[in-house]
Amino acid sequence: MSEDAAERVREMVDALYRSDSRRVLATLIRLLGDFDLAEEALHEAFAAALERWPRDGAPANPRAWLVSAGRFKAIDSLRRRARFDASLAQLAERLGPDAGDAATPGWDDEGVEDDRLRLIFTCCHPALPPDAQVALTLRDVCGLTTEEIAPAFLTAAPTVAQRIVRAKAKIRDARIPYQVPSRADLPDRVDTVLHGVYLVFNEGYSASSGASLTRPDLSGEGIRLGRLLVELLPEPEAVGLLALMLLHESRRATRTSPEGELVLLADQDRSRWNREQIAEGVALVERALASRRFGPYTLQAAIAAVHAEAPDAAATDWAQIVGLYDVLARADPSSVVELNRAAAVAMRDGPAAGLALIDAILARGDLGDYHLAHSARADLCRRLGRTAEARASYQRALGLTRLEPERRFLQRRLGELPD
Amino acid sequence: MRYLCLIYDEEKKVGAMSKSESDAFMGEYFAFTDGIKKSGHYLGGEALEPVQTATTVRIRNGKVSTTDGPFAETKEQLGGYYIINARDLNDAIQVASKIPSARLGTVEVRPIMEFNQP
C-alpha cells in the first residue's frame, strides 16, 4: 500500500476511535464481563488496527473487526496470565476457544445498541454513589479522560480516578449486572439514569462552586447523552429532559456579561438566544406532553419553553408559568419548586403576593440555607421599598453562596439599595 | 453469589404494634420466608432478641472489656438477617425489597466475600 493510502487508513482509525470506541467498549464489557479487561482490550484492538490495516487494507466491517480483535487480545492476555492464576484459565476457557474468529458470537448491530444502553444503566446504577455515577458515565460512556473530568468537579485527577476505581470494584464485587433492567424495574432505573445525565449537564451549566459560572464542555456532554438516550430509549421523560437541557443551553451566551458577571433572566439579551436550540427544545416538549405520560423534566422544560418564546420578561405568560408550577408541585413536591412558583406568582400578582409565599416557606424552616431563597426574598422586599429587610436578606444570601459571580452580583445589589 | 441482608428496624415502632398488627407483620415474614425458600434464594436467616439483650465485647490493652448494648446509639437496630443466593445485585435487591421490614426500617444488602480455598 502506498504511503498516502496508509496515511488515509491511519486517519480513518483515528476517526473511528472518536466515533465508535464507546460502542466497541460497551460490547467488549458484555463479552468479557469485566470493565478493566475490556478497556485494555479496546486499546489493544485499536493498536492492532493501526498496525494491520495500513498493510492489509481496512476490513469491510471495522467495528466487528475491532470487537473480535479486542476479544482475542483479552483471551490471549488471560491465558498468558493464567500460568500464575488458575481462575484466569477458567475464565479464558469460558470465553471460548474460537476467539478471534471474524464471526464473533453476540455481534449484530442491534445487539451493539443494546450494549450502549447496558453500559449507561450500569454506570448509573443506584447502588453507586451519585458522584461516581457521573464520573463513570463521563469516562466510559463519553470517553473523557480523568484529567478532563477532574476540573469539572474542582478536584484532582487522582481523586476522580479513585472514585472510578471504587465504582468498578463495587460493580465487580457486589455483582452489579451488565443489563438493561427488567420492565418492572425500568421506571425507577430510568429516573436514576435521567438524573445522572442531568447531573452531568448541570455540572456544566450551573457549576456549584468556583470562579466561573458555566462550564460548556460538560453541558455539551449532557446533551449528547440526552440525545443518545432518546435514540435508545424514547421514554417521554427522556425526551423532556433533552428538551429541558436544550432550552437552558439556548440561553447560555446571555447568562453572563463579557466581564463574567451574572445576568438575570429578565435582563438577558433575548436576540442572542439560540433559536435553533429553542425550536428543537419546543418541538421535543410538545412531543413529550402529547404522550400524556410525562413527569417533572417535561414540566420544567415546558416552563423553560414559555420563557423561551416570550419577547421579554413583562410579556411572559406568567399565568401559564404559575399553572405549570402547580402541576410540577403535585408531580414532584419540593420547597425549591415552591420557591420558583412564588417568584412566578410575584410576576403575575405583584411582589407582595410572592413575598408572602416565600416567607411561609422560610417560616416552616425550609430553605433557610438556600441562598436563592434569601436573594429572591431580598429582591421582592427591594421592589416593595422595604429596604432594611432587603439588606438583611441580601446579606444572608451573600453568606451562603459559594460562587464568585453570584457574590459580586449580590454585593452590587446591596450597593444599589437606598440609604 | 451469596448476599447477607441485614434487617434494621426501629424497635420502638415494632414494639408499639398492637397484637393484631404484630401478628400480621409476623405473618408477612413467614410468607416471605416461604416464598424465598420456594424460589431457591433462601440459605438461612434468623430474627434477633431486642438490642437491650446485646453485649459488646472488645479487647483493649490485652484486657477483655464487656459493656452493655451496642457500641453506638442509633434510631434503628439490627433485628435479624437473611443469607440468600442471588444471580446478581439486581436479583438480590428484588429479594431484599420484599422483606417486610423494608417498608418500616431499612435492609442493608452485602455481598459475602468468597475465599478461594486451595
**Average model confidence (pLDDT) across chain A:** 87
The yes-or-no verdict on residue A216 having pLDDT over 70 is: no
Which residues from chain A sit within 8 angstroms of residue B90, using beta carbons?
A: 176-177, 179, 181-182, 185
Residue of A nearest to B113 (CA): A173
The C-alpha atoms of residue A1 and residue A4 are separated, in whole angstroms, by 8
* Contacts (Cβ under 8 Å, ≥6 apart) of A280: A243, A246
B49: closest CA of chain A, how far (Å): 29
Which residues from chain B sit within 8 angstroms of residue A127, using beta carbons?
A: 89, 93
Task: Specify the higher pLDDT residue, A407 or A3.
Answer: A407
Which residues from chain B sit within 8 angstroms of residue A176, using beta carbons?
A: 88-90
Give yes or no for A176 touching B (CB within 8 A). yes
Most confident of A186-190, A245-249, A368-372, B75-79: A245-249
What is the pLDDT averaged over residues A369-375? 93
Give yes or no for A301 touching B (CB within 8 A). no
B69: closest CA of chain A, how far (Å): 30
B8: closest CA of chain A, how far (Å): 18
Lowest-pLDDT range, A197-201, A335-339, A373-377, B14-18?
A: A197-201
| CB nearest A127 (choices: B87, B89, B116) | B89
The yes-or-no verdict on residue A291 having pLDDT over 50 is: yes
| CA distances, A63 to each of A45, A60, A85 (Å) | 10, 9, 31
Interchain contact, B90 vs A173, CB within 8 Å: no
Interchain contact, A176 vs B116, CB within 8 Å: no
* Per-residue model confidence (pLDDT) at position B13: 87
B73: closest CA of chain A, how far (Å): 25
The band of A370, judged by pLDDT with boundaries at 50, 70 and 90, is very high
Percentage of residues of chain A with pLDDT beyond 70 = 90
| CB nearest A175 (choices: B94, B111, B116) | B111
The band of A103, judged by pLDDT with boundaries at 50, 70 and 90, is very low
* Per-residue model confidence (pLDDT) at position A105: 46
* Contacts (Cβ under 8 Å, ≥6 apart) of A401: A371, A407, A410
| CB nearest B89 (choices: A87, A177, A182) | A177
* Per-residue model confidence (pLDDT) at position A213: 53
The C-alpha atoms of residue B82 and residue B93 are separated, in whole angstroms, by 13
A–B interface: beta-carbon pairs under 8 A:
25
* Per-residue model confidence (pLDDT) at position A102: 41
Give yes or no for A169 touching B (CB within 8 A). no
Q: Which of B88, B89, B91, B95 to mutate to test the interface with A (most CBs of A within 10 A)?
A: B89
Percentage of residues of chain B with pLDDT beyond 90 = 69
Interchain contact, A174 vs B89, CB within 8 Å: yes
Task: Specify the higher pLDDT residue, B80 or A216.
Answer: B80
* Contacts (Cβ under 8 Å, ≥6 apart) of B71: B56
Q: Decide the pairing of beta strands B55-60 and B63-68.
A: antiparallel
- Assess contact for A135 and A163: CB atoms under 8 A: yes
Task: Specify the higher pLDDT residue, A92 or B82.
Answer: B82
A87: closest CA of chain B, how far (Å): 9
* Per-residue model confidence (pLDDT) at position A192: 86
* Per-residue model confidence (pLDDT) at position A417: 92
Task: Specify the higher pLDDT residue, A246 or A142.
Answer: A246
* Per-residue model confidence (pLDDT) at position A100: 42
- Assess contact for A92 and A41: CB atoms under 8 A: no
Q: How many CB atoms lie within 10 A of CB A192?
A: 18
- Assess contact for A127 and A43: CB atoms under 8 A: no
A66: closest CA of chain B, how far (Å): 29
Task: Specify the higher pLDDT residue, A96 or A81.
Answer: A81
Which residues from chain B sit within 8 angstroms of residue A182, using beta carbons?
A: 90
Look up the ipTM and state it: 0.82
* Per-residue model confidence (pLDDT) at position A111: 58
The yes-or-no verdict on residue A1 having pLDDT over 70 is: no
Domains, in order of start, for chain A: 3-107 (no CATH), 317-419 (1.25.40.10)
Residue tagged 488458575 (cell numbers): A86
Interchain contact, B111 vs A173, CB within 8 Å: yes
pLDDT digits (tens, 9 = 90+) for B5-46: 999 999 888 889 999 999 999 999 999 999 999 999 999 999
- Assess contact for A32 and A88: CB atoms under 8 A: no
Give yes or no for A174 touching B (CB within 8 A). yes
**HEC string for chain A:** CCHHHHHHHHHHHHHHHHHHHHHHHHHHHHHHCCHHHHHHHHHHHHHHHHHHHHHHCCCCCHHHHHHHHHHHHHHHHHHHHHCCCHHHHHHHHHCCCCCCCCCCCCCCHHHHHHHHHHHHHHHCCCCCCHHHHHHHHHHHHCCCCHHHHHHHHCCCHHHHHHHHHHHHHHHHHCCCCCCCCCCCCHHHHHHHHHHHHHHHHHHHHCCCCECCCCCHHHHHHHHHHHHHHHHHCCCHHHHHHHHHHHHHHCCHHHCECCCCCECCHHHCCHHHCCHHHHHHHHHHHHHHHHHCCCCHHHHHHHHHHHHHHCCCCCCCCHHHHHHHHHHHHHHCCCHHHHHHHHHHHHHHHCHHHHHHHHHHHHHCCCCCCCHHHHHHHHHHHHHCCCHHHHHHHHHHHHHHCCEHHHHHHHHHHHHHCCC
> Tell me, what DSSP letter sits at residue B52?
G
Residue of B nearest to A125 (CA): B90
Residue of B nearest to A85 (CA): B116
The band of B117, judged by pLDDT with boundaries at 50, 70 and 90, is low
Give yes or no for A180 touching B (CB within 8 A). no
Give yes or no for A84 touching B (CB within 8 A). no
Interchain contact, B90 vs A185, CB within 8 Å: yes
Identify the helix (H) or strand (E) that includes residue B30.
Answer: helix B19-38
> Tell me, what DSSP letter sits at residue B101?
G
What is the pLDDT averaged over residues B49-58? 88
pLDDT digits (tens, 9 = 90+) for A6-62: 888 889 999 999 888 999 999 999 999 999 999 999 999 999 999 999 888 889 999
Interchain contact, A177 vs B90, CB within 8 Å: yes
* Per-residue model confidence (pLDDT) at position A66: 95
* Per-residue model confidence (pLDDT) at position A215: 58
Could you tell me the fold of the domain covering B2-111?
Answer: Alpha-Beta Plaits (3.30.70)
The yes-or-no verdict on residue B106 having pLDDT over 50 is: yes
Lowest-pLDDT range, A33-42, A79-88, A126-135?
A: A79-88
Which residues does residue B5 pair with via DSSP β-bridges, in sequence order? B82, B109
* Per-residue model confidence (pLDDT) at position A106: 46
Interface of B with A (CB under 8 A): 1, 87-91, 93-94, 109, 111, 116
* Contacts (Cβ under 8 Å, ≥6 apart) of B32: B98, B99, B100
The yes-or-no verdict on residue A96 having pLDDT over 70 is: no
The SS3 call for residue B63 is strand
